[in-house]
Amino acid sequence: MKFKIGMMLVVLGAAMAAPYFIQGRGGDLLKNFDAEQSLDILSTEKTRQQYQKWQDEKGVWHFGDSVPEGVATEVVNVDTAANVIRSIKLAKNEEEEQDGKGKSGGPSLPFPGTVSPDKVGEMMDDAKNVQQLLDDRAAQLKKLP
Protein backbone atom coordinates (compact mmCIF):
# COMPACT_ATOMS: atom_id res chain seq x y z
CA MET A 1 0.00 0.00 0.00
CA LYS A 2 2.85 2.38 0.87
CA PHE A 3 4.52 1.56 -2.43
CA LYS A 4 1.38 2.46 -4.40
CA ILE A 5 1.02 5.78 -2.58
CA GLY A 6 4.70 6.51 -3.13
CA MET A 7 4.41 5.78 -6.85
CA MET A 8 1.32 7.97 -7.14
CA LEU A 9 3.21 10.85 -5.51
CA VAL A 10 6.14 10.37 -7.89
CA VAL A 11 3.82 10.38 -10.92
CA LEU A 12 2.00 13.47 -9.62
CA GLY A 13 5.30 15.27 -9.04
CA ALA A 14 6.51 14.37 -12.53
CA ALA A 15 3.24 15.60 -14.08
CA MET A 16 3.52 18.93 -12.28
CA ALA A 17 7.19 19.40 -13.18
CA ALA A 18 6.92 18.31 -16.83
CA PRO A 19 5.81 21.70 -18.28
CA TYR A 20 9.05 23.21 -16.97
CA PHE A 21 11.08 20.81 -19.13
CA ILE A 22 8.90 20.32 -22.24
CA GLN A 23 9.45 22.60 -25.22
CA GLY A 24 6.48 24.32 -26.85
CA ARG A 25 5.87 25.01 -30.55
CA GLY A 26 8.29 27.93 -30.68
CA GLY A 27 11.09 25.97 -29.06
CA ASP A 28 10.73 27.78 -25.75
CA LEU A 29 9.88 25.97 -22.55
CA LEU A 30 6.16 25.79 -21.78
CA LYS A 31 6.83 27.21 -18.29
CA ASN A 32 9.86 28.94 -16.90
CA PHE A 33 11.20 30.08 -13.58
CA ASP A 34 11.77 33.67 -14.77
CA ALA A 35 10.88 35.98 -11.87
CA GLU A 36 10.94 39.09 -14.09
CA GLN A 37 8.04 37.72 -16.13
CA SER A 38 5.63 37.94 -13.21
CA LEU A 39 6.90 41.20 -11.69
CA ASP A 40 4.94 43.42 -14.07
CA ILE A 41 1.54 42.08 -12.94
CA LEU A 42 2.13 42.08 -9.21
CA SER A 43 -0.07 44.21 -7.03
CA THR A 44 1.10 47.82 -6.73
CA GLU A 45 -0.40 51.08 -5.54
CA LYS A 46 -1.51 51.78 -9.12
CA THR A 47 -3.51 48.54 -9.32
CA ARG A 48 -5.29 48.98 -5.98
CA GLN A 49 -8.48 51.03 -6.01
CA GLN A 50 -11.20 51.90 -3.51
CA TYR A 51 -14.89 52.33 -4.31
CA GLN A 52 -17.93 53.09 -2.21
CA LYS A 53 -20.84 50.66 -1.99
CA TRP A 54 -24.32 51.71 -0.88
CA GLN A 55 -27.89 50.51 -1.04
CA ASP A 56 -30.75 52.77 -2.10
CA GLU A 57 -34.27 52.83 -0.66
CA LYS A 58 -35.41 50.19 -3.20
CA GLY A 59 -32.71 47.76 -2.05
CA VAL A 60 -30.54 48.12 -5.17
CA TRP A 61 -26.78 48.14 -4.56
CA HIS A 62 -24.68 50.86 -6.20
CA PHE A 63 -20.92 51.23 -6.58
CA GLY A 64 -19.01 54.40 -7.34
CA ASP A 65 -16.74 57.22 -6.27
CA SER A 66 -19.41 59.84 -5.60
CA VAL A 67 -21.95 58.96 -2.93
CA PRO A 68 -25.30 60.72 -2.34
CA GLU A 69 -25.52 62.57 0.96
CA GLY A 70 -27.13 60.84 3.91
CA VAL A 71 -26.41 57.30 2.70
CA ALA A 72 -24.47 54.74 4.70
CA THR A 73 -21.58 53.38 2.64
CA GLU A 74 -19.06 50.59 2.77
CA VAL A 75 -15.54 50.80 1.33
CA VAL A 76 -14.74 48.17 -1.29
CA ASN A 77 -11.06 47.50 -2.03
CA VAL A 78 -10.32 46.20 -5.52
CA ASP A 79 -6.97 45.04 -6.87
CA THR A 80 -7.03 44.97 -10.66
CA ALA A 81 -3.85 42.87 -10.77
CA ALA A 82 -5.53 39.98 -8.96
CA ASN A 83 -6.43 36.94 -11.05
CA VAL A 84 -4.72 38.23 -14.17
CA ILE A 85 -3.64 35.69 -16.75
CA ARG A 86 -0.77 36.72 -18.97
CA SER A 87 -1.65 36.78 -22.67
CA ILE A 88 0.28 34.69 -25.13
CA LYS A 89 1.68 36.43 -28.18
CA LEU A 90 1.44 34.22 -31.23
CA ALA A 91 3.98 34.46 -34.01
CA LYS A 92 2.49 35.79 -37.25
CA ASN A 93 2.91 34.03 -40.56
CA GLU A 94 4.36 35.93 -43.51
CA GLU A 95 0.94 35.84 -45.24
CA GLU A 96 -0.81 37.31 -42.20
CA GLU A 97 1.70 40.12 -41.95
CA GLN A 98 1.15 41.04 -45.62
CA ASP A 99 -2.67 40.80 -45.62
CA GLY A 100 -3.47 41.58 -42.04
CA LYS A 101 -5.92 38.68 -42.26
CA GLY A 102 -5.95 35.03 -41.26
CA LYS A 103 -5.45 31.99 -43.47
CA SER A 104 -9.11 31.93 -44.56
CA GLY A 105 -8.84 35.37 -46.15
CA GLY A 106 -11.29 36.88 -43.67
CA PRO A 107 -10.92 38.12 -40.14
CA SER A 108 -10.12 35.32 -37.74
CA LEU A 109 -12.47 34.56 -34.86
CA PRO A 110 -11.04 34.84 -31.35
CA PHE A 111 -12.29 31.51 -29.98
CA PRO A 112 -13.27 28.22 -31.57
CA GLY A 113 -16.72 28.42 -29.95
CA THR A 114 -17.65 31.76 -31.46
CA VAL A 115 -20.12 31.95 -34.30
CA SER A 116 -19.76 33.87 -37.50
CA PRO A 117 -22.03 36.95 -37.46
CA ASP A 118 -23.84 35.80 -40.61
CA LYS A 119 -25.01 32.63 -38.80
CA VAL A 120 -26.47 34.38 -35.75
CA GLY A 121 -29.95 34.61 -37.32
CA GLU A 122 -29.95 30.89 -38.00
CA MET A 123 -28.90 30.18 -34.41
CA MET A 124 -31.69 32.40 -33.07
CA ASP A 125 -34.24 30.51 -35.19
CA ASP A 126 -32.88 27.21 -33.86
CA ALA A 127 -33.13 28.49 -30.30
CA LYS A 128 -36.76 29.56 -30.86
CA ASN A 129 -37.57 26.11 -32.26
CA VAL A 130 -36.01 24.42 -29.24
CA GLN A 131 -37.99 26.72 -26.93
CA GLN A 132 -41.19 25.81 -28.78
CA LEU A 133 -40.40 22.09 -28.36
CA LEU A 134 -39.83 22.61 -24.64
CA ASP A 135 -43.09 24.57 -24.29
CA ASP A 136 -44.99 21.82 -26.13
CA ARG A 137 -43.43 19.18 -23.87
CA ALA A 138 -44.37 21.17 -20.75
CA ALA A 139 -47.95 21.45 -22.00
CA GLN A 140 -48.10 17.69 -22.60
CA LEU A 141 -46.78 17.01 -19.10
CA LYS A 142 -49.44 19.26 -17.56
CA LYS A 143 -52.17 17.26 -19.31
CA LEU A 144 -51.00 14.02 -17.71
CA PRO A 145 -52.93 12.94 -14.58
Q: Which sequence spans correspond to the domains of the chain?
A: 1-33, 43-97
pLDDT in tens, 36-79: 455 455 677 787 888 899 888 888 989 888 888 888 888 888 87
pLDDT in tens, 80-128: 777 666 666 777 766 555 555 545 555 555 555 677 888 888 989 999 9
- Angle, CA 124 vertex, CA 119 and CA 125 arms, to 5°: 100
Could you list the beta-strand ranges (E) of 5-133. 48-55, 61-64, 73-79
Instruction: Kindly tell me if the per-residue pLDDT of 3 is higher than 80.
Output: yes
Q: Return the pLDDT at 119.
A: 86
Between 133 and 77, the more confident residue is 133
Hey, CA dihedral for 63, 65, 70, 74, is it positive or negative?
positive
Spell out the residues 6+ positions from residue 131 whose beta carbon is closer than 8 angstroms to its own.
none
Q: Return the pLDDT at 39.
A: 47
Mean pLDDT over the full length of the chain: 77
Predicted TM-score (pTM) above 0.75? no
Q: Return the pLDDT at 86.
A: 62
- Considering only CA atoms, which of 29, 11, 12, 28 is closest in space to residue 20? 29
Helix (H, G, I), strand (E, B) or coil at 129: helix
